[in-house]
Amino acid sequence: MTTRANNCRQIAERLTAPGKGILAADESISTMSSRLEGVGVAPTAENRRTYRELLATTTGLADGVSGIIFCDETLGQTFGDGRPFAEAVSELGILAGIKVDTGAKPCPGLPGETITEGLDGLPARLAHYAEIGATFAKWRAVLTIGDCTPTWGAIGANANALARYAAACQEAGLVPIVEPEVMMTGSHPITQCEQVTATVHAAVRQQLSLLNVDLAGIVLKPNMVIEGEDCPQQSTPAEVAEATVRVLRAWPADLAGVAFLSGGQAPERATANLEALQNHQTPWPLTFSFGRALVSPALAAWAGDQAHVADGQAALSVHVAANAAARRRATAQSA
């Protein structure tokens, strides 16, 4: 095995270490700007920087967070004391990651569906990110359940892009987080989410294999299998966990780990589901890589007020601790 491949395996193991998960703070400039505006904060680069520094400097964050995913803008910024973000978080004992896709764009030929872009020039960008201290990357594919979607075209195109990205990351010595997200939008039942998620994962596995991606050097970031947000019948955590693990069982045992996105679930529900997932024995760790389920309460508590930095950090701490505790229970069970 090459040194880079070995390095990827070690980083992937650190990312999914017992009792820890990943913090997704990589909202694009436009998404972050609208979230700031939503709490009355001007959408400036400095406010986006301040908010990310608030998250990263939360006391004790490294106890429950192995890595933080940032976007390109943040990785080019510095903490207030002048240290670049990647260097500063690494000094806190946290791995720095970078979202390298350039977003889900309308897919020509497939009305209403998207293809995630960002492959052009990717190797050079990955080399740059590795040089400034990133150790892992993220790429998100978006599949939406509708009357006739996702189509085979969208599933295949997105799976291929995910695999090309993953192969490029491993060649650059960065761990790819492979994120095929089946969205919660819609009124579909949990059974439909299970069937679509299984189909999407099968396509992703096939493409990863065709491009010789080492599964022990990736982290899979899937949606939990859950009903659509407008479905009248809400599944219990036990039902979500069972359906999710049924889909995941198709992944080989050498996969380094699984870190779920929260996908718009309320923070408490995402945590309850993560906890229920730990009741299943699996060959790979099941952890979190939540965005909104971790940061939304923190953003609301801070709301751009310097006097409320500690409140924002306390809100983040509470949710990180709850999810890390859910994972620790699993570690205790299997010990």
- The residue ranges that bind ligand 13P (CB under 6 A) are 24, 140, 179, 261-263, 290-293
Nearer to ligand 13P, 184 or 208 (CB): 184
Nearer to ligand 13P, 7 or 34 (CB): 34
Both structure tokens of 291 = 């965005």
Half-sphere exposure of 302 (CA within 13 A, CB side): 27
Q: How far is CA 230 from the centre of its chain?
A: 23
Peptide bond into 150 cis (omega under 30): yes
Nearer to ligand 13P, 7 or 264 (CB): 264
Closest alpha carbon to 134 in 82, 171, 99: 99
- For residue 49, the SS3 value is helix
Residue 133's identity, in one-letter code, is: G
Residue 281's identity, in one-letter code, is: Q
Separation CA 293–CA 275 (nearest Å): 14
Least separation in angstroms between CB 123 and ligand 13P = 22
Least separation in angstroms between CB 230 and ligand 13P = 17
Cα angle 305-309-312, degrees, rounded to a multiple of 5: 105
> Within the chain, how many helices (H) and strands (E) appear?
12, 10
Least separation in angstroms between CB 235 and ligand 13P = 18
Least separation in angstroms between CB 80 and ligand 13P = 25
Q: How many CB atoms lie within 10 A of CB 238?
A: 13
Least separation in angstroms between CB 296 and ligand 13P = 8
Nearer to ligand 13P, 165 or 290 (CB): 290
The verdict on whether 13 is a catalytic residue reads no
Least separation in angstroms between CB 3 and ligand 13P = 29
The verdict on whether 20 is a catalytic residue reads no
Nearer to ligand 13P, 248 or 294 (CB): 294
Separation CA 221–CA 138 (nearest Å): 9
Separation CA 219–CA 260 (nearest Å): 10
Nearer to ligand 13P, 114 or 147 (CB): 114
Catalytic residue (one of 20, 138, 221, 242): 221
Both structure tokens of 301 = 């508590």
Q: Which residue of this chain has its Cβ atom nearest to ligand 13P in the complex?
A: 291
Least separation in angstroms between CB 321 and ligand 13P = 17
Nearer to ligand 13P, 182 or 332 (CB): 182
Distances (CA, A) of 249 to 3, 210, 221, 281: 29, 20, 15, 10
- For residue 176, the SS3 value is strand
Catalytic residue (one of 27, 53, 113, 179): 179
Distances (CA, A) of 326 to 85, 177, 223, 245, 279: 28, 22, 18, 16, 10
CB 191 within 8 A of CB 244: no
Instruction: Tell me whether strands 114-117 and 103-106 are parallel, antiparallel or unpaired.
Output: antiparallel
Residues carrying an active site annotation: 179, 221
